[in-house]
């Protein structure tokens, strides 16, 4: 997938994330402070504006770096820093990439995860977006080639990661004060992570191969 198609894919993701505000709000109301949907909506509205402008990405890395900076500048909250870091750290690891294929995406997600670890200090099992991201990284590592072929499996793994957060007790972020009362509820940030990959997958699979 070239930089222009990746830009179109991210515009699609942004629109779908904006539309996901009510469901993300609902889940953050259950275990957080209820602002996660609004935060993601704000970030992806800024991304949608950027991508609808005459901005021409030089390559895939620069595009994803710019998206991360845009999210960080517009969102605030824990997730602004966390998702902004995911994109920025991931983008820096694929410097100069002119196409996004499965290996490039895997390198992006792996480095993004490292960045999130460093930025937020949470680990797998803490009931955060990390639980969805780690699952996606693990699946992506063994795959290479066309995105349309492999993104569905990567997105499905992230979704399983979200399911797993239902059984976890939050130890970080706003949900940690709930302790065991967070049991049974999925983590909203993990849900956002899985949605992003699911929407990327939808777009990639609808693309007619060139």
Half-sphere exposure of 40 (CA within 13 A, CB side): 28
Angle at which helix 36-52 crosses helix 188-206, to 10 degrees, equals 30
Residue 117 CB-density burial (10 A; 0-12 exposed, 13-18 middle, 19+ buried):
middle
- Residue 210 token pair: 């060139």
Q: Does 111 bind ligand ADP (CB under 6 A)?
A: no
Q: Which is nearer to Mg ion, 18 or 107 (CB)?
A: 18
Q: Which of 50, 122, 134, 155 binds ligand ADP (CB under 6 A)?
A: 122
Q: Which of 109, 129, 162, 196 binds ligand ADP (CB under 6 A)?
A: 129
Quickly list H helices, 76-187.
77-93, 102-120, 129-141, 147-165
Q: Does 187 bind ligand ADP (CB under 6 A)?
A: yes
Rounded Cα distance, 40 and 126, in Å: 21
Q: Does 112 bind ligand ADP (CB under 6 A)?
A: no
Q: Does 140 bind ligand ADP (CB under 6 A)?
A: no
Q: Applying CB under 5 A, which part among 6-14, 23-31, 40-48, 59-67 lies near Mg ion?
A: 23-31
Bridge partner residues of 2 (DSSP):
99
Q: Does 68 bind ligand ADP (CB under 6 A)?
A: no
Residue with tokens 């492999």: 150
Q: Does 79 bind ligand ADP (CB under 6 A)?
A: yes
Q: Does 32 bind Mg ion (CB under 5 A)?
A: yes
Sites of contact with ligand ADP (CB under 6 A)? 28, 32-33, 35-36, 39, 77-79, 82, 116, 120-122, 128-130, 172-174, 187-190
Sites of contact with Mg ion (CB under 5 A)? 28, 32-33, 35-36
């Amino acid at each position: 997938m070239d930089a222009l198609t990746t830009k179109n894919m991210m515009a699609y993701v942004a629109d779908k994330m904006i539309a996901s505000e009510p469901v993300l709000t609902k889940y953050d109301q259950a275990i957080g402070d209820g602002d996660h949907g609004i935060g993601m909506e704000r970030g992806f509205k800024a991304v949608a504006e950027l991508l609808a402008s005459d901005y021409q990405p030089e390559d895939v890395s620069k595009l994803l770096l710019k998206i991360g900076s845009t999210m960080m500048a517009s969102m605030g909250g824990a997730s602004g820093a966390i998702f902004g870091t995911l994109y920025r750290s991931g983008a820096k690891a694929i410097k100069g990439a002119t196409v996004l294929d499965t290996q490039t995406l895997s390198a992006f997600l792996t480095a993004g995860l490292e960045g999130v670890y460093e930025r937020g200090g949470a680990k797998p099992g803490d009931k955060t977006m990390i639980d969805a991201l780690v699952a996606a990284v693990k699946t992506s590592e063994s795959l290479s080639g066309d995105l349309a072929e492999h993104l569905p499996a990567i997105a499905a793994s992230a979704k399983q990661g979200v399911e797993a957060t239902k059984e976890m007790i939050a130890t970080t972020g706003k949900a940690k004060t709930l302790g065991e009362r967070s049991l049974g509820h999925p983590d909203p940030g993990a849900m956002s992570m899985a949605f992003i990959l699911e929407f990327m997958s939808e777009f990639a699979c609808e693309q007619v191969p060139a």
